[in-house]
Amino acid sequence: MSPRNLALSSFGLVVVGCIICAIGTAVWIDVVGITVAGIGAVGLLAAFFLAVGQADDRYRGKNPHG
C-alpha cells in the first residue's frame, strides 16, 4: 500500500469516527467513534513515516556514498 492510499483511508477513518461521535447519544457510541478516529490518526502517522522512509531509500539508492 502506498503512503498516499494509507493516508486517504486513514483520513476516512478519522472522519467516520468524528461523525460517529457527533451522531452518538450513548457513551459507548462515543467510545466507538473515538476508537475509530484514533486508529485513523495512527494510520496517518504511519503513512507519514512510510513516506519519509521511502524517500530516504530512494535517495540512498541514487547516492550510495552519501
Q: Domain ranges in the chain? A: 3-56
pLDDT under 50: residue ranges of the chain: none
What share of the chain has pLDDT > 70, as a percent? 100
pTM of the complete model? 0.86
Nearest to 4 by CA among 39, 43, 60, 35: 43
Report the 10 Å Cβ neighbour count for 43: 19
Residue 40 contacts residue 13 (beta carbons within 8 Å)? yes
pLDDT of residue 65: 85
Residue 4 contacts residue 27 (beta carbons within 8 Å)? no
Handedness of CA 46, 52, 53, 54 (dihedral sign): positive
pLDDT of residue 1: 86
